[in-house]
Amino acid sequence: MQPVTSLRSFFALASVLVMVARAGVAADPLTLDYSLYAQGKYIFERNCILCHGPRGDGSGELSKGLQPKPRSFREGMFKFRSTPYGALPTEDDLRVTIRGGLTGTAMGMFTQLQDDEVRAVIEYVKSFSRRWRKAENYAEAIPLPEQPKWFEDEKVRGVHADGGKQLFENICATCHGTKGDGNGPTAATLKDMWNLPCKPSDLRQPHLRCGDRPIDVYRVLATGLSGTPMISYEGALTETQRWDLIAYIQTLKLPDVPTLGSANVRR
């Protein structure tokens, strides 16, 4: 791989396209917007480089000792998305990650960035991987259903949770453990595509990286977390089975202590 050369020719091509198309650049997702790229580089160097590294490979100065490690952007694989397993995230997905951070990891919330700055840094993040240049890696968000009415009714939810417990023990417990604490029998052996140990999430935590709402867990079951053993259950579990599982996971939740799961390093 010769990232420097290929990036250079990429930008040469991109700037030709900018000249040809002017206003039309942003309309083509495969074309990098050069002026955004330059602004994004600036934002990245001030806000992200210490963890994600100058080459975007996740090995910035602060990365040592962090668990999980900062993401490498070079493979173009992202865990938290609305799109099918393995597909690129939408720009909104990346915006949610950058604005909201990832609870319980070093990835903090970048609430101080302006909208155009977030747009720009996303454009820069894209420049690290060639996957963003191929149309076949893009996909639409998977449509999500409404939360069922019964979910608000504690009694009915309890009945669904009983069904969910069975499913959980049959399908999820080998990794997440019967208590949902992330210590299932296979947990210690799991690796991600970056060949790093990949700990199943402790689903009892009041805040998860995917979000705090029931629908956020539903989305993970639909999309999976790309690059990790957390696959998509889109074809394998019905809508009802998924809500039953989520009802069960709710029963495992630990009380929300302000210091728990909010270890975000804020800039």
Which residues of this protein are in contact with ligand HEC, per CB under 6 A?
47-48, 50-52, 62, 66, 68, 70-71, 78-80, 94, 97-98, 102, 105-107, 110, 121, 125, 171-172, 174-176, 190, 192, 198, 200-201, 208-210, 217, 220-221, 225, 228-230, 233, 245, 265
Are 53 and 63 within 8 A, CB to CB? yes
* Least Å from the CB of residue 16 to ligand HEC: 27
| Single-letter amino acid code for the residue at 39 | Q
Distance from C-alpha of 106 to C-alpha of 253, rounded to nearest angstrom:
22
Report which of 86, 58, 84 is spatially closest to residue 71, judged by C-alpha positions: 58
Choice between 15 and 50, CB closer to ligand HEC: 50
Q: How far apart are the first and last CA of the chain?
A: 34
Are 37 and 127 within 8 A, CB to CB? yes
Choice between 61 and 153, CB closer to ligand HEC: 61
| Single-letter amino acid code for the residue at 12 | A
* Least Å from the CB of residue 26 to ligand HEC: 19
Are 108 and 263 within 8 A, CB to CB? no
| Radius of gyration in angstroms for the set of CA atoms belonging to the chain, rounded to a whole number | 20
* Least Å from the CB of residue 167 to ligand HEC: 7
* Least Å from the CB of residue 162 to ligand HEC: 16
Handedness of CA 64, 68, 71, 75 (dihedral sign): positive
Choice between 18 and 60, CB closer to ligand HEC: 60
* Least Å from the CB of residue 121 to ligand HEC: 5
Are 193 and 228 within 8 A, CB to CB? yes
Choice between 18 and 252, CB closer to ligand HEC: 252
Choice between 70 and 133, CB closer to ligand HEC: 70
* Least Å from the CB of residue 45 to ligand HEC: 10
* Least Å from the CB of residue 187 to ligand HEC: 8
Choice between 17 and 224, CB closer to ligand HEC: 224
Stated length of the chain: 267
Q: Using the CB atoms, write b or e for 13-26: b if 16+ within 10 Å.
A: ebeebbeeeeeebe
Choice between 15 and 41, CB closer to ligand HEC: 41
Q: How many CA atoms lie within 13 A of 203 on its CB side?
A: 27
